[in-house]
Structure 1
């Protein structure tokens, strides 16, 4: 089942940009049509663009353009039970806007088409109608003349609605650090050690016995004396390690600030019967 999605744009140029965007995403140009007062449908083989001179009107051309749009909606909805918003679409064209109609077969493509239309600048028709109602609009009148360029510019005079937003980012700053040095130290120490010494001892004792042949032999005995001396050796051992690194922690900080914005208020004023804003007439004496 074919479904038609319609986007409303301020100008035909905006509608054509959206059309090109959809074509780039794979949608066929033959399934799209642009409807506006100053151009024929883009489904025509020979597309022509016609700009209406500011401050002038072309009733015949307006009737032709609006009749084509009327014929377009008649093909979609018929003559009876036409939704009220169809008149709003026609009113948008009367006020200088443009319509882009896209025919799709797959329901899954509808979201893509809507996203592309809004991304290209499609307006919210309900919000636009609400603005029109503040100036007296009730419903589309097919006999009403098309807006001139000056009227279109006056209606679309923009009052910007500004809203500041608070953007909080992060930056890294150096808050200090740790510097670790390694150096050689000298510490006096003392140790006790027992040393052994051996000395020769001579002892003479009185003896009274007969001498033997062994006693008459010559000989000698040598006794060596010894002494221990301290020997010093040093052995280095690792008894501790200092590991240098970083550890991270997170904290939450609440930033409080004030953002500014503007609001646009629309107030409807009432007229006074019997008065009108008429420019003064210069009289020339006879």
Structure 2
């Protein structure tokens, strides 16, 4: 059984972007219609269904024609009037005819992802300012009235993000140089010298005393001998070691808060809001 899925968008351009998403998802263009006013206040509809509208038909009349084909003129659901009111207030409708529930789920998902508004929430906002139901005789909103109704006050919150970066804080440079240091050592040196001693003697000479001969005595002396041996007595190891510390960053984040204040009507009474505001 064929059914219609309706998506409400705040602008004609958003509605057209939703149509592009639906086409990429496999929905036939002939099953899609857009009802709304573009920047030049013209009515847009797909070429495939343009011949089903009377020539010169306005936006609201086009919507009426579409829903009349679906529901007839009597016993319409209440939300049909809400869709008329949305277009009167500057919104655009995307209507899609689907053949089965699987296709309906796909269309709903694509319309939501494209930014379709919640019509129930939008109606609740209208009712808080006096809306009681769609009035076919009411004039369409001007561009200024649409902008004023949808004026948004952003609620801003700054987030503090703390990261870290590595900076150079100095270091060490190690050199290896040759050195020369004067040193002195004491050494005992020994010398041997020939000792000649003459002493007076008075005795008779013998044959041995008359023989020729000689004795040679070597004189010696010790001289210092210097040798050097290099030994490694210490090593300087160059490297890095890492330590960690925890640092608390204190700062101030900015933001804005939006307060909603009810104002008195002409009779001096305050009307309670239709839905409570919730902090973000």
TM > 0.5 = yes
Normalized against structure 2, the TM-score is what? 0.63
Aligned to 1:117: 114
- Aligned ranges 1:149-160 → 2 under 5 Å: 149=142, 152-153=145-146, 156=149, 158-160=151-153
- Aligned ranges 1:229-268 → 2 under 5 Å: 229-233=224-228, 235=230, 237=232, 239-245=234-240, 247=242, 249-265=244-260, 267=262
Q: Distance in 1 between matches of 2:80 and 2:61?
A: 17
Checking the alignment, whether the CA contact within 8 Å between 1:36 and 1:96 is kept in structure 2 is no
Q: Unaligned 5+ residue runs, structure 1?
A: 53-57, 273-286
Tell me the CA shift for residue 105 of structure 1: 3.5
Counterpart secondary structure, 1:7:
strand
Q: Which of 119, 123, 128 pairs up with 1:129?
A: 123
Aligned to 1:199: 192
1:127-181 per-position Cα deviation (integer Å, ceiling 9, x unaligned): 322220111224445x454524357536535142342424445575858423435
Coordinate RMSD, CA, aligned: 4.8
Counterpart secondary structure, 1:100:
strand
Judge which range, 233-242 or 92-101, deviates more. Answer: 233-242
Q: Unaligned 5+ residue runs, structure 2?
A: 38-42, 268-280
Normalized against structure 1, the TM-score is what? 0.61
Tell me the CA shift for residue 192 of structure 1: 4.1
Checking the alignment, whether the CA contact within 8 Å between 2:7 and 2:93 is kept in structure 1 is yes
Q: Distance in 1 between matches of 2:51 and 2:162?
A: 51
Name the CA shift for 1:105/1:4 in 2 (closer, same or farther; >3 Å). farther
Aligned to 1:65: 63
Q: Distance in 1 between matches of 2:68 and 2:204?
A: 166
**Size of the alignment, in residue pairs?**
252
* Residues 1:96 and 2:93 are matched in the alignment: no
Q: Distance in 1 between matches of 2:228 and 2:173?
A: 31
Checking the alignment, whether the CA contact within 8 Å between 1:8 and 1:100 is kept in structure 2 is yes
- Aligned ranges 1:142-153 → 2 under 5 Å: 143-145=136-138, 147-149=140-142, 152-153=145-146
